[in-house]
Amino acid sequence: ADASGTKGLAGTLSGGLKINVTVPTLTIALDSATTDGNLIYKVTGSEAFDLVSTVSPTITNGAISSTPTASSDRMTYMMTVKPTASGDVGVSIPVGAVTNGTLTNTAAVTATAVKVALGTSGVDTMTGSVGAEYVFPGAGNDILKLTATNQSTVAATDTIAGIAIGDVLDLSGLLTSYK
């Protein structure tokens, strides 16, 4: 901070021009999921920032499905990712992918991988797995099965997005352990 307490500013050049020497830091977190199978990530900066158009975020098992949008104060961006297959989806932003107008050498940042289960346009039987996952049944009359209590817990809940008329949530495997 400079003498007046302004964050990120150090020194004054002739004419009162101040230079920002703070390197922005970022965090990435999953914000939500849409019914059509997209994951919405929120990228938050320690200060206002812009994405550098020549450096793209790295997506594992997915692709950015729309241009990331900035908040009015440019402190957050929302990024929509479309998973390409069932499994872990990863999002990371490499070094140099953002700028605060002065500096672009931010540290790389990676979001925690998100497990997804993708249905098809046909009839699918999807059995839950241990840990939190995002389930996108797809079209068709799907059967979503939980067969063990550790497949969806209070600490690691599942999110089902896009369930439709004709889909069935089968909990019968859980009931057999209660006598």
Residue-wise pLDDT tens digits, 72-86: 998 999 999 999 999
Q: pLDDT exceeding 70 applies to what percent of the chain?
A: 82
Q: What backbone phi and psi angles, to 5 degrees, belong to 16?
A: 85, 10
Q: Is the pLDDT of residue 166 over 70?
A: yes
Q: Which residue has the higher pLDDT, 9 or 31?
A: 31
147 CB-near residues (< 8 Å, 6+ apart): 127, 128, 173, 174
Q: What backbone phi and psi angles, to 5 degrees, belong to 169?
A: -100, 110
HSE-CB at 68 with a 13 A cutoff on CA atoms is 27
pLDDT at 179: 54
Q: How confident is the model at residue 115 (pLDDT cuts 50, 70, 90)?
A: very high
Burial (CB count <10 Å: 0-12, 13-18, 19+), residue 7: exposed
Cβ-contact 39, 89 below 8 angstroms: yes
Q: Is the pLDDT of residue 2 over 50?
A: no
